[in-house]
A and B are shown apart, each in its own frame.
Chain A
């Protein structure tokens, strides 16, 4: 197991490095000068030169890259061009909300998805299967932000069960935090759950149709044992294998959904960063997201190794 962890850690390094290079080179992809793009119509040659100096664009690329990476490692992600606030501070303020709803969403997704997948996969072709599987197709089709909107109007506006603007940091008030992330978590969980349910169902159907299901049944193992002990574990294999991708998708979706719930997450700073072409902020958000996904993937890979023996390096 230690070997697996070391191996995955080792792979995370080049992965992060490649992403860092890509993120760094963003500013070079802007047609013309990024400084001009940032300044928009207000640009004068002097102000452009000033901004270029501020961004370090007047220096050679390799030198800038080394500086930038050095900054990354020491937690210095530059300064927002628009607000003048250090990007690291911005991120620190906005990561908790994103992390909270994504974690909540992933949890809801796993419970819903694996539950529905095992439930339907063990009774393929029945009415229950058709209804629930139809539900997952619908779940994938519903735009998440619209679902969020509907949930808000119902539970916050009409019923008043949760406040409309609800974000409370966990450290301030755990119960308030939970109430605040409930609706966004459910919103994300429906999408994620629908994705997971499809994979889990397919895996359960395959595993229940495999020879070993017949071998064990013929040898006297009850269907209940077969479903609970063999179906579920086999279903978890593809779910965990792609949970990293599911997570990345949920983070992306959370950027949209948080607007509905007025959450102070990474999406809000990303959005203003994109509109203002505030590259230090955009780069910071991309970098922190990548680190987040890679870190969680590392954990998931270890879980995957626990479940699927063949994934462990020999």
Chain B
């Protein structure tokens, strides 16, 4: 087991490095010049200033040297200085990550808490109305564009019905809590500021539902398919023949076996939620990593792009690792193979 984990960790590091290399090469083939984007019109036209700017960010070095420098810094935990915000990328990420983390986690919990039972129920009562509901939910979730869904939700529940609060993490006039973790729910709870906690929670409702929809659809479909397969296995028939109660059969025999693919999917879905909240964050004016990533890409902010690549790659690889390890626990055969 330890050797298994060790070898997996090693490949993980290689994977992360490879993905940063790929993104580095792709980013460098873009014809745009980050210096010209970041500088004002006057400065950008002064060759001396452009040269100084390029030197400041190491953009004048040969490509391999730039990448080498990135790796060297990465090892020391230094992600460089962002060209567009002009401060350490790490500071930017520390600022933006909590908003995304909070949103993605709530969305993830939502998609599991709703998607899993819905999938099981849809499988158990195949072709009943609940199955049709599940199908509709997953169809909408998977196929409706997030951007559209976000606007519709906002227009209906905020614009028309006035049930939900508007964009942003907090009401315009409420003061944000002192920063401890940057996660508003946790920070307000730690400080006992329940009014702001309530405000933050309410602001999370719409965006987390929107963000959860796609994942929710996938979780429901996968759970349903896996459950159907498990329910048709011989051991279920044996269990029934022994006269076990249905609940025991579903929860004790079929579900654990159906969970494997769901766990894989769930892990990747969580990583995806963390990395892919751009649209939701845009519509809901959510100050998160998604928007930061988008802006970094648009402004060809190399240090930020590289840092985010490294982090996202690391998150995916780690989640994958965690999933595989949980496999090993759920199904001991995995390590023996």
A complexed with B: no
